[in-house]
């Protein structure tokens, strides 16, 4: 019995959210008096296995197969299901990333087991897994009991838990032979691409003034530009602003955009969705201008200016002009 | 090319929510509803595929009677047929339940491609699509930003974290979850909206997915804001003055 953490890796590197999941898994294991095992699936991944072994886990289980060289939901799903025939676990964790929430729900459905995604907390008490997540744009939290176990599948929200430090000890690395003879992977991986851009690099700026949907119209972005100019910064954007074509993709802050950590971050009309917070919560001073005092952005903001940004920004500009 | 697109009706995320006294659900009086954001992109993608390859687009929504509104909107924007699968309110937190319910309706159809949105605006599980793909036994790809159908395969780009894209191909039939921004959803013409009010919507009652459900809500609550921000409230000018003073104090306003 215990907790399995499925490690996410790409292009020869363990992905950062995996460390956070290991951190949380360790916490849960201590209070539930159980073990954490990291699961690594791939082909020729011994380097990554030894890297995982330096972290506080009881064991690193490695499933290697040429068909697991590239990640696919079918490959990971079959390998994980086969592994779970050898390894009894109460809880299987991975991160809520484009990879994690692509394959784990499918495995849970294939195996007919309980699933919660994007959890911000999880506990294991007397064999019962309880996961907490938010709903309604982060305005409501819900605690969910996952009945029927054997195991419960949970993806954990990134940028929520503290990654552990590697220690001097080495956990044992165990290759696991699973039967993948029936595995047929229908999805083919062609490669990766990263669109290049020549715009300003918002990650380099000391001050980022970000506009969200609260800006309402493209023409209003000028207000944010003026504010950015007054503060010596650049304009960033939440994703919907970029999707609307109001600002280039290079300005997007968040999990699918850039991660920024400027001295000052001013969020104008940004609600603070998980994918946005991931990209800016490390900023030194965070100011949020928002008409809704309950917006989730205030869970990371240091100062909240409550009101209509179309009025507050012009007034703030006048104040900043005064010597 | 037969495309099924799953469109969900969600409670307006801008609302203030209250919790029922038994702390097991939100208070559902006075909610207003709208179509789930990414599903608009999924629908547009489906209609474009039909325009390019022929076939038909079927929109499916699981929910109470009320969700016929989003199905009519979908027909006004180009869906040929619409199906409502009955699903009572209150199971939004459980994508396994919803996935199983939708699967029962889709299993009966002849489909080449199933499109979902990347996630719902209310619970953001990002899970219904993969669960549906499991029940249908077809391959899938999540967070798709580009779709190209070539004969019996579909070539897609998936969006990963940090702006990286993965290119994959899948044989049809397949399921994709469509990311915001993949296209520019069209507006419905008044004539199309009128026509859609007269089109029929097929009603399906799925066998209860109760067996699929292993989740029980223990408690629902309004989360406490963990790190209390200093809130500046009052008149616009007061708020702006205080904010300017704070920024100056912290040395965040360039001189001159
Ligand atoms: C796979 C995936 C990746 C994603 N990646 C990213 C990402 O990298 N970056 C990102 O930002 N999002 C990302 N998203 C989208 C994210 O989930 C949210 O939808 C998005 O961040 C919301 O943007 P927003 O805050 O601008 O809009 P909303 O959530 O609509 O918020 C608008 C805010 O403006 C406020 N407001 C309205 N009017 C006014 C006014 N007059 N004055 C002041 N305030 C006002 C409202 O109270 C509200 O809080 C991603 C989603 C997915 C599924
Ligand atoms: N009740 C529903 N009716 C129709 N489609 C749904 C429903 N619930 C979820 N979906 C589809 O599944 C996608 C992802 O939802 P979720 O897993 O809840 O984040 C949505 O964008 C829809 O395409």
Domain residue extents for chain B: 2-209
What pLDDT was estimated at residue A3?
Answer: 97
Please indicate whether, in this complex, the C-beta atoms of A102 and B226 are within 8 angstroms of each other.
no
What pLDDT was estimated at residue A122?
Answer: 98
Please indicate whether, in this complex, the C-beta atoms of B131 and A105 are within 8 angstroms of each other.
yes
DSSP secondary structure string for all residues of B94-153: -HHHHHHHHHHHHHTS--SEEEEESS-TTT----HHHHHHHHHT--EEEEEEEEEEETTE
Query: Which of A140, A144, A307 has its CB closest to that of B215?
Result: A144
Please indicate whether, in this complex, the C-beta atoms of B180 and A243 are within 8 angstroms of each other.
yes
Which residue's CA is the closest to the ligand 2 atom numbered 10?
Answer: B8
Please indicate whether, in this complex, the C-beta atoms of A193 and B165 are within 8 angstroms of each other.
yes
Neighbours of B113 (CB within 10 A): 25
Q: Above 80 in pLDDT, residue B31?
A: yes
The whole-angstrom distance between B199's CA and the closest CA on chain A is: 31
For testing contact with chain A, the best of B33, B98, B155, B163 (most A CBs within 10 A): B163
> Does the domain spanning B2-209 belong to CATH 3.40.50.620?
yes
Rounded to whole angstroms, how far apart are CA atoms A127 and B209?
25
**Fold matches, A3-175 and A202-322:** yes
Tell whether omega for the bond before A151 is within 30 degrees of 0, i.e. cis. yes
Question: In the Cβ-directed half-sphere of B181, how many Cα atoms lie within 13 Å?
Answer: 19
Name the residue ranges covered by the structural domains of chain A: 3-175, 202-322
DSSP secondary structure string for all residues of A260-289: ---SEEEEES----HHHHTTTTT-SEEEEE
ipTM (interface predicted TM): 0.94
What pLDDT was estimated at residue A130?
Answer: 98
What pLDDT was estimated at residue A323?
Answer: 67
- CATH number, domain A202-322, options 3.40.309.10, 3.40.50.1220, 1.10.3720.10, 3.40.50.620: 3.40.50.1220
pLDDT values of chain A reduced to their tens digit, one per residue, 323 residues? 899 999 999 999 999 999 999 999 999 999 999 999 999 999 999 999 999 999 999 999 999 999 999 999 999 999 999 999 989 999 999 999 999 999 999 999 999 999 999 999 999 999 999 999 999 988 899 999 999 878 999 999 998 899 999 988 999 999 999 999 889 899 999 999 987 777 889 999 999 999 999 999 999 999 999 999 999 999 999 999 999 999 999 999 999 999 999 999 999 999 999 899 999 999 999 999 999 988 889 989 999 999 999 999 999 999 999 86
Q: Which residues pair with B166 in a beta bridge?
A: A192, B158
CATH topology (fold) of A3-175: Rossmann fold (3.40.50)
Would you tell me which residues 71-90 of chain B have a C-beta closer than 8 angstroms to some C-beta of chain A?
none
Structural contact between residues A13 and A85, judged by C-beta atoms closer than 8 angstroms: no
Q: How large is the average pLDDT for residues B171-195?
A: 96
Q: How confident is the model at residue B13 (pLDDT cuts 50, 70, 90)?
A: confident
**Opening angle at CA A240, ends A318 and B90, nearest 5:** 120
Residues of B in contact with A15 (CB under 8 A): 161
Strands (E), A18-77: 36-42, 59-64
Q: What is the mean pLDDT of chain B?
A: 94
Q: How large is the average pLDDT for residues B131-151?
A: 97
pTM here is 0.94
Where helices occur in A157-281 by DSSP H, the ranges are 221-231, 239-243, 274-277
Q: How large is the average pLDDT for residues B75-98?
A: 96
Q: How large is the average pLDDT for residues B204-231?
A: 83
C-alpha distances out from residue B185 to B34, B45, B58, B145, B182, Å: 15, 8, 17, 14, 9
What pLDDT was estimated at residue B137?
Answer: 96
Share of chain B above pLDDT 90, in %: 90
What pLDDT was estimated at residue A197?
Answer: 73
Q: How confident is the model at residue B23 (pLDDT cuts 50, 70, 90)?
A: very high
Q: Is B86 exposed, middle or buried (0-12, 13-18, 19+ CB in 10 A)?
A: middle
What pLDDT was estimated at residue A166?
Answer: 92
For testing contact with chain A, the best of B90, B215, B222, B224 (most A CBs within 10 A): B215
Q: Above 80 in pLDDT, residue B209?
A: no
What pLDDT was estimated at residue A63?
Answer: 97
Q: Residue A241: nearest ligand to its CA?
A: 1
Structure tokens at B174: 């397949």
Rounded to whole angstroms, how far apart are CA atoms A136 and B120?
10
Rounded to whole angstroms, how far apart are CA atoms A286 and A280?
9
Which residue's CA is the closest to the ligand 1 atom numbered 42?
Answer: A308
Please indicate whether, in this complex, the C-beta atoms of A239 and B169 are within 8 angstroms of each other.
no
Q: How confident is the model at residue B228 (pLDDT cuts 50, 70, 90)?
A: confident
Tell whether omega for the bond before B173 is within 30 degrees of 0, i.e. cis. yes
Q: Above 80 in pLDDT, residue B54?
A: yes
């Amino acid at each position: 019995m215990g907790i399995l953490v499925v490690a996410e890796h790409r292009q020869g590197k363990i992905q950062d959210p995996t460390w956070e999941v290991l951190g949380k898994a360790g916490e849960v294991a201590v209070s539930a008096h159980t073990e954490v095992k990291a699961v690594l699936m791939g082909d020729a991944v011994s380097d990554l296995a030894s890297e995982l072994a330096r972290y506080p886990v009881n064991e690193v289980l490695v499933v290697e197969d040429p068909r697991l060289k590239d990640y696919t939901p079918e490959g990971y799903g079959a390998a994980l299901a086969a592994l779970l025939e050898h390894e009894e676990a109460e809880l299987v964790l991975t991160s809520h990333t484009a990879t994690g929430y692509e394959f784990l729900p499918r495995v849970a459905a294939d195996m007919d087991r309980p699933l919660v995604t994007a959890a911000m907390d999880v506990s294991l008490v007397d064999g019962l897994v309880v996961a907490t997540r938010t709903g309604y744009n982060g305005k409501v939290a819900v605690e969910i009991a996952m009945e029927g176990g054997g195991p419960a599948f949970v993806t954990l929200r990134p940028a929520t838990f503290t990654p552990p430090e590697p220690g001097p000890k080495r956990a044992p690395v165990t290759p696991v032979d699973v039967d993948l003879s029936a595995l047929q992977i229908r999805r083919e991986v062609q490669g990766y691409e990263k669109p290049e851009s020549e715009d300003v690099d918002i990650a380099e700026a000391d001050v980022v003034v970000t506009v969200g949907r609260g800006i309402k119209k493209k023409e209003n972005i000028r207000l944010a530009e003026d504010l950015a100019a007054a503060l010596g910064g650049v304009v960033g954007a939440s994703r919907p602003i970029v999707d609307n074509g109001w600002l280039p993709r290079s300005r997007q802050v968040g999990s699918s955009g850039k991660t920024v950590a400027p001295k000052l971050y001013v969020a104008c009309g940004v609600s603070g969705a998980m994918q946005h917070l991931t990209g800016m919560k490390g900023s030194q001073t965070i100011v949020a201008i928002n008409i809704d005092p309950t917006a989730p952005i205030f869970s990371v903001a240091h100062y909240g200016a409550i009101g209509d940004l179309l009025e507050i920004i012009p007034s703030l500009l006048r104040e900043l002009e005064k010597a | 090319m037969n495309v099924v697109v799953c469109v969900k009706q969600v409670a307006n995320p801008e609302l203030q929510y209250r919790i029922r006294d038994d702390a097991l659900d939100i208070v559902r009086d006075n909610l207003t509803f709208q179509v789930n954001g990414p599903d608009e992109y999924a629908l547009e993608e489906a209609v474009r595929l039909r325009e390019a390859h022929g076939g038909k687009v079927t929109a499916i929504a699981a929910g109470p009677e009320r969700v016929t509104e989003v199905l009519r909107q979908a027909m006004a924007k180009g869906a040929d047929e619409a199906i409502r699968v009955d699903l009572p309110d209150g199971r939004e937190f459980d994508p396994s339940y919803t996935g199983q319910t939708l699967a029962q309706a889709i299993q009966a159809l002849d489909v080449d491609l199933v499109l979902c949105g990347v996630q719902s605006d209310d619970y953001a599980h990002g899970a219904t699509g993969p669960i549906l793909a499991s029940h249908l036994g077809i391959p899938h790809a999540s967070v798709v930003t580009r779709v190209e159908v070539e004969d019996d395969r579909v070539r897609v780009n998936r969006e990963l974290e940090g702006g990286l894209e993965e290119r994959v191909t899948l044989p049809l039939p397949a399921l994709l979850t469509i990311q915001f921004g993949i296209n520019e959803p069209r507006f419905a013409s008044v004539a199309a909206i009128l026509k859609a009010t007269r089109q029929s919507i097929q009603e399906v009652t799925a066998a209860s997915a109760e067996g699929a459900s292993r989740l029980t809500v223990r408690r629902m609550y309004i989360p406490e804001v963990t790190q209390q921000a200093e809130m500046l409230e009052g008149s616009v000018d007061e708020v702006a003055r205080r904010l300017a003073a704070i920024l100056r104090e912290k040395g965040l306003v360039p001189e001159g």
